[in-house]
Amino acid sequence: MSLTETHRYDDIIDLPHHRSQTHAHMSMHNRAAQFMPFAALTGYDDIIRQTAQSSDDAVERTNRPVDLAEGYLSA
């Protein structure tokens, strides 16, 4: 598909942005609230936190020194 110049919107491109006469302008806070996570994701943060803790524990176990003479992990 090639890009070709069109002039389909030349009649409206420079018009001022429409402001409703009947509805108040929405605040940035309320507008942002529309995009907040849904309740379907409740508990997601807890799962992420648990996974991170498990990963940290695994790394800590892996990096624990090994006493080769005794054949077990030192405390």
pLDDT at 74: 53
Residue 71 has pLDDT above 80, yes or no: no
Q: Which residue has the higher pLDDT, 1 or 48?
A: 48
Q: Which two tokens stand for residue 45?
A: 């943060």
Rounded to two decimals, what is the model's pTM?
Answer: 0.36
**Can you give the pLDDT at residue 36?**
75
For residue range 7-64, list pLDDT tens digits in order. 999 999 999 988 999 999 999 998 888 887 666 677 888 999 999 999 999 999 888 8
